[in-house]
Amino acid sequence: MNAREKILQLRSTSPLILPSLLLCDFGDLRSELELLAKAGIQALHLDVMDGLFVPNMTYGMPIIEGLARHTELPLDVHLMIQEPSRYIEQFGAAGANLITVHVEACSDLPATLKQIHELGIASGVALNPDTELDAILPCLELCDLVLCMSVNAGFGGQEFNPVAIEKVKQLVEIRERRQLNFVLEVDGGINVETIGDCYSAGATWFVAGSSIFKQQCYQQAVTDLTAAATA
């Protein structure tokens, strides 16, 4: 089983809660992984920022390599970097199972998505709240996942922008009409108040940061998010 197949085994998991490690305690990462595993987490979300495409910087390949050595959970790697094609091979070698790139950051999105697939990794495309769906429509056949950002990429803890819900609804219709099979993921401001509308619209994967890592009990936080999605 290659990296792509491993994470796409979760394609039908609905809802799937993916904790964004941007807000975890990196000083005690092993304990954080243990707590997330006990909470029933099935995949991890990693936000990589370069300080160019977004006005913030996070971690890179070494953190992903370390995570891959210490967990069997698939890694959903969200590249918020300019011209990500320069680093796709390195992130794949580091242990990414899914690599999502921003349409706004790619000069040749189809080539970048093909590059990801050629490495046996699942491919995703993300779009910011202000980006129209037309920007990604020609490339949907190359996507295993579409990530609708409900905040502007670059910082955690922002308020949810409901424009993502409308995009999800439109993408569900397009997916059915074109007989495609990409997963719909939402990232940004996901909590017990916002997840239900996203799930009802057709999204099935949800990136959660503050709503997990700022809670006392991760397991209860995941339970609450799952219940709120399906209520």
CATH assignment of the domain containing 112: 3.20.20.70
Compute the distance between CA of residue 8 and CA of residue 117 in angstroms, rounded to an integer.
Answer: 13
**Domain region containing 40:** 3-230
Beta bridge pairs of residue 126:
102, 147
Q: Check if 25 is active-site.
A: no
**Residue for token pair 């394609």:** 11
Upper half-sphere CA count for residue 162 (Cβ side, 13 Å): 5
Q: Given 50, 187, 197, 224, which residue is catalytic?
A: 187
Q: What are phi and psi of 163, to 5 degrees?
A: -60, -25
Q: Which pLDDT band, with edges at 50, 70 and 90, does 52 fall under? A: confident
pLDDT digits (tens, 9 = 90+) for 193-228: 999 999 999 999 999 999 999 999 999 999 999 999
pTM comes to 0.95
Residue 222: the pLDDT is 97
Beta bridge pairs of residue 16:
205
Q: Which pLDDT band, with edges at 50, 70 and 90, does 29 fall under? A: confident
Compute the distance between CA of residue 47 and CA of residue 207 in angstroms, rounded to an integer.
Answer: 10
Query: Can you read off the two tokens belonging to residue 125?
Result: 């495309």
Q: Given 28, 47, 108, 197, which residue is catalytic?
A: 47
Q: Number of structural domains, the chain?
A: 1
Give Cβ neighbours of residue 41 (< 8 Å, ≥ 6 apart). Answer: 17, 18, 19, 73, 218, 222
Q: Reply yes or no on whether the pLDDT at 105 is more than 70.
A: yes
